């Protein structure tokens, strides 16, 4: 299992200072008691590892919570993220922390322990999904492309927010209901694609969109050694690269799903091969593109798949 995001080292003095600040700023709203104060509206602090989860929280809670997305730059490569003292401070004050899990953002756990924040409710979305690595393979940790998983997460998150801030429970429940309805609609789109194109081959550079492709009835034809090497940042063997390029020259796939946030010589060769063979390319990303929310982003991905399949 890969550790996709790395944690930078803090100097002892800097970390001590940040932790001292966090002790002064701990929130008491994380564990509402039965007193009258517990029924008053409060602004909860939510820290998410990426803007994907930050945006989902926004769709549910609106301005009723303060949201910090640690990775929010749409041009950033999430694989090479380095945490900083601001991240540490935000985690020390959080009422709710959301991490993807599955080795994708281990820095969250590391820094949360350093901040000694025992009041925060921590959501690990991979754990919520219940997904496990296949026998002899690696877990695909990109669970935000799996709508049933997102729905499970939303239901648990909504219950927690409502418990921590009962005065705004109706807002959270209404936001979750509206959001889940959109998830249902997008799952309907996947089902429509599957009905028309089940069994069609697909190629990927990384398994980022694989849950969506599979839910749409597509079959991943990419040699596992290729996508694993790209994901791990290691060299692709000549034979594996040749097998991957043959998918396009021999027209074994109907589309290429290309991760725009991670590129290198091998992925560029694959992209060129797909275009030369007239195979449609579906660009995908790991974090929210500029000007998009989660629903419009995923809807756009589904539309691109439909267009590619004709």
Strand order of the β-sheet with 255-259 is 219-220, 201-204, 255-259, 281-284
Alpha carbon distance 128, 144 (integer Å): 11
- Segment-wise mean pLDDT, segments of 10 residues, the chain, 310 residues: 42 38 37 45 91 98 96 72 81 96 91 90 98 90 98 98 97 98 98 98 97 98 94 92 98 96 91 98 94 97 97
Domains 12-28+40-130+137-184 and 198-309 share a fold: yes
- What is the model's pLDDT at position 98? 98
- CATH assignment of 12-28+40-130+137-184? 3.40.50.1980
SS3 17: helix
pLDDT at 86: 83
Domain ranges of the chain: 12-28+40-130+137-184, 198-309
In whole angstroms, give the CA distance from residue 261 to residue 286.
7
Q: Does domain 198-309 have CATH number 3.40.50.1980?
A: yes
- Give the C-alpha separation, 101 to 108, whole Å: 9
Predicted TM-score of the model (pTM) = 0.86
- Number of neighbouring beta carbons within 10 Å of residue 284: 25
pLDDT value, residue 88: 87
Token readout for 25 is 């700023």
Whether 145 and 211 have beta carbons less than 8 Å apart is answered as yes
pLDDT at position 136 is 82
Rounded CA-CA distance 41/113 in Å is 29
Rounded Cα distance between 250 and 221, Å, is 12
- Beta bridge partner(s), residue 45: 66
């Amino acid at each position: 299992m890969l550790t996709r995001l790395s944690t930078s080292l803090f100097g002892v003095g800097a970390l001590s200072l940040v932790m001292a600040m966090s002790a002064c700023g701990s929130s008491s709203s994380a564990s509402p008691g039965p007193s009258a104060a517990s029924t008053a509206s409060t602004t909860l602090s939510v820290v998410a590892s990426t803007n994907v989860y930050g945006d989902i929280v926004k769709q549910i809670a609106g301005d009723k919570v303060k949201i910090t997305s640690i990775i929010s730059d749409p041009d950033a490569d999430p694989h090479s993220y380095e945490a900083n003292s601001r991240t540490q401070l935000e985690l020390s004050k959080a009422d709710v922390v959301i991490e993807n899990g599955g080795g994708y953002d281990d820095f969250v756990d590391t820094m949360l322990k350093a901040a000694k924040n025992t009041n925060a409710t921590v959501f690990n979305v991979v754990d919520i999904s219940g997904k496990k690595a296949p026998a002899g393979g690696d877990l695909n940790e990109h669970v935000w492309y799996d709508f049933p998983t997102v729905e499970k997460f939303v239901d648990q998150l909504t219950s927690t927010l409502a418990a921590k801030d009962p005065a705004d429970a109706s807002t959270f429940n209404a936001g979750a209901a509206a959001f889940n309805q959109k998830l249902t609609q997008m799952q309907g789109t996947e089902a429509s694609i599957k009905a028309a194109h089940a069994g069609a081959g697909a190629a990927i550079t990384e398994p980022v969109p694989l849950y969506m492709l599979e839910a749409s009835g597509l079959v991943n034809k990419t040699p596992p050694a290729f996508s694993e090497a790209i994901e791990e940042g290691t060299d692709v063997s000549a034979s594996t690269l040749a097998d991957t390029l043959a998918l396009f020259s021999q027209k074994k796939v109907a589309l290429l799903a290309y991760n725009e946030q991670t590129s290198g010589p091998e992925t560029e060769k694959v992209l060129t091969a797909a275009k030369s063979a007239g195979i449609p390319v579906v660009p995908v990303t790991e974090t929210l593109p500029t000007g998009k929310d989660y629903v419009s982003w995923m809807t756009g991905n589904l539309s691109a798949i439909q267009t590619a399949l004709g």
